Amino acid sequence: MLIIFGFRVVYFTLDRGVFHCPNCGGDRDYRRRQGRNFFTLFFIPLLPLNRTGPEIAECDTCHGRWTTAVLAVPTSAQLGAMPGTLLRMAVVQVLRSGDVTFPGARERAVEVVRQAGADYDTAALDADLGRSFDDIRVEMARSADTLAPEARENILRAAAEIALLDGPLTFSEEETLNAVGADLALTRVQITGVLSLARESSGH
């Protein structure tokens, strides 16, 4: 009798949740999974062997797979909890730092602000871009006090992600994000933490 044996990777689900799927471009259910090599006999996995690779997050909808760093990106629902005005000011400051050259940066900025529940379009963005820098900083400082630290960190995170769309942060983008963080009443440590998470998930 012919014996057929081999090896196969079987994925196990560790837990589930909702994340921002980079491929679908919206909130989707995901499974956090870990692969394990199995010895198979007649195509049936019999003996568990070593674990393979890092844990991954798999989208239930498109079945795209990412490293678990992707889970740190705010979902649309989380963005929805942010006060729109403050987010809008943060995003505008990053865009006007002048280094965001990615063609989709303006559209992404409008989309992020709209997800926060604000009525916003490219015309409104242009109007914001025409406002004075000091004017915007005063408005940010006034609203920042009313928000929980996590909400303020999420706003800086959203602004950093827009700056990271076109590649690594330039000196001027980084300087702007530090100023935005300070206007959001975040500490130096909080700002550094948020920026390094944003860099990690963008791959820059």
Q: Which is nearer to Zn ion, 61 or 101 (CB)?
A: 61
Residues 137-176 within binding reach of Zn ion (CB under 5 A): none
Q: Could you give the angle at which helices 84-95 and 133-144 cross, rounded to 10 degrees?
A: 150
- Min dist CB 123 to Zn ion, Å, is 31
Residues 6-35 within binding reach of Zn ion (CB under 5 A): 21, 23-24, 28
Indicate the burial class of 121 (C-beta count within 10 angstroms; 0-12, 13-18, 19 or more).
Answer: exposed
Which one of the spans 41-49, 55-63, 79-87, 134-142 is the region binding Zn ion (CB under 5 A)? Answer: 55-63
Q: Which is nearer to Zn ion, 21 or 194 (CB)?
A: 21
- Min dist CB 25 to Zn ion, Å, is 8
- Min dist CB 65 to Zn ion, Å, is 10
Q: Which is nearer to Zn ion, 44 or 77 (CB)?
A: 77
Question: How many angstroms separate the most distant Cα atoms in the chain?
Answer: 83
- Min dist CB 66 to Zn ion, Å, is 9
Chosen residue from 57, 59, 155, 159 binding Zn ion by CB under 5 A: 59
- Min dist CB 180 to Zn ion, Å, is 30
Indicate the burial class of 87 (C-beta count within 10 angstroms; 0-12, 13-18, 19 or more).
Answer: buried
Q: Which DSSP helix (H) or strand (E) runs through 38?
A: strand 26-41
Q: Which is nearer to Zn ion, 23 or 101 (CB)?
A: 23
Residue of 94, 86, 176, 175 lying closest to 139 (CA atoms): 86
Half-sphere exposure of 107 (CA within 13 A, CB side): 3
Whole-number Å distance between alpha carbons of 66 and 103: 25
Q: Give me the residues that bind Zn ion (CB under 5 A), please.
A: 21, 23-24, 28, 59, 61-62, 64
